Homo-oligomer: A and B are copies of this chain.
Amino acid sequence: MTPGTPPLVGQIIDLALEEDLGRGDVTTRLCVPPNAKSEGRVIAKQDLVVCGLDIFEAVMKRVDPDTEIEIMVADGDRIEKGTLMAMAKGRTASLLMAERVALNFLQRICGTATMTRTFVDAIPENCSVRLVDTRKTTPGLRYLERAAVLVGGGNNHRVDLGGGILIKENHIRAAGSITAAVTNCKQQGPHPLRVEVEVTSQEEVNEALAAGADVIMLDNMSNPEMAQAVKLIGGRALVEASGGVNLQTVAGIARTGVDIISVGAFTHSAPAADISFLIN
């Protein structure tokens, strides 16, 4: 795997193999001679953005360290339907036993990268907005999905509840006011973290600015409201748009001048990319 991939990714791979192969592969045992050798080709069955072939390889080698993988495309490449993405060479039985799990990872990761790229491509050229992910990730796959968002041309929001300060409506209510919440966080929050606060009106924008918020999240505002807020903020804080973002709306939101648009769909609703593994 890519150097620096955290140990947890190895654990999720093991878990997925245990789910599928934990009781052995009865069909392969009965049909495939243990030392028969084959070659398999990973083929894109749709246009897609490449991501995660290192995980595909890791799964293949976890099942059989003797399997050799040759990777033909690089993370971030936009490839067309029919492109050969990688070759796997080794024991036929090993290829068959690893295939499904290796694809289950690859298809999801490419799916997320591909959807992200589609959104990024929908942004008008002159907008410098960044599209970011959310914490709406698949349980166990946050590290991989966030990496896929980067590969697809997006950017990352906070990694977890400890990796960013984001004051939402409930925090505000509990703290008493935007002012109180932002002030607490400015004074006592870890200094490596900016203070972001969610607002729903221009009055709240003003209060957030006055309290010193570093980032202001506009929650479910209309485009005109957002444009007005951007103007009001005037560069004194970063501005994030949140809510109601889809392929139809993203360009319009970008044109409001916000700096950041967060898109839950990247990680919670990207369909798996269509990819085949053909053994011959």
Scan A167-204; emit 1 where CB is below 8 A from any B CB, else 0.
11011101100000100110011111110100000000
Please give the count of copies of this chain that the complex contains: 6
Asked if residues A91 and B6 are in contact (CB atoms below 8 Å), the reply is no
Residues of B within 8 A of A87 (CB): none
Asked if residues B138 and A164 are in contact (CB atoms below 8 Å), the reply is no
Asked if residues A142 and B4 are in contact (CB atoms below 8 Å), the reply is no
Asked if residues A3 and B91 are in contact (CB atoms below 8 Å), the reply is yes
Cα distance A164–B27 when bound, in Å? 8
Asked if residues A165 and B138 are in contact (CB atoms below 8 Å), the reply is no
A19 within 8 A of B: yes
A157 within 8 A of B: yes
Residue of B nearest to A188 (CB): B30
Asked if residues B159 and A62 are in contact (CB atoms below 8 Å), the reply is no
Asked if residues B140 and A164 are in contact (CB atoms below 8 Å), the reply is no
Residues of B within 8 A of A96 (CB): 170-171
Asked if residues A101 and B174 are in contact (CB atoms below 8 Å), the reply is no
Residue of B nearest to A7 (CB): B14
Scan A80-118; emit 1 where CB is below 8 A from any B CB, else 0.
000000000001111111001101110110010000000
Shortest beta-carbon distance from A167 to chain B in Å:
6
Asked if residues A185 and B27 are in contact (CB atoms below 8 Å), the reply is yes
A124 within 8 A of B: no
Q: Which of A17, A64, A167, A171 has the most CB of B within 10 A?
A: A171
A122 within 8 A of B: no
Cα distance A146–B22 when bound, in Å? 12
**Contact count band on A:** 35 or more
A1-59: which have CB < 8 Å to B? 3-4, 6-8, 12-28, 30-33, 36, 38
A246-272: which have CB < 8 Å to B? 259-260, 264-265, 268-269, 271-272
Residues of B within 8 A of A111 (CB): 269
Contact of A194 (CB < 8 Å), options: B92, B107, B193: B193
Residues of B within 8 A of A168 (CB): 27
Binding site for B on A (CB under 8 A): 3-4, 6-8, 12-28, 30-33, 36, 38, 62-64, 66, 91-97, 100-101, 103-105, 107-108, 111, 130, 132, 135-143, 146-147, 155-168, 170-172, 174-175, 181, 184-185, 188-194, 196, 214-215, 238, 240, 259-260, 264-265, 268-269, 271-272, 279
Please, could you name 29 A-B residue pairs with CB atoms under 8 Å apart, sorted by A?
A3-B64, A3-B93, A4-B24, A4-B28, A6-B18, A6-B23, A7-B62, A8-B18, A16-B139, A19-B139, A19-B140, A19-B142, A20-B135, A20-B160, A21-B161, A22-B22, A22-B143, A22-B160, A24-B161, A26-B162, A27-B171, A30-B165, A31-B175, A32-B171, A32-B174, A100-B135, A108-B138, A192-B194, A193-B194
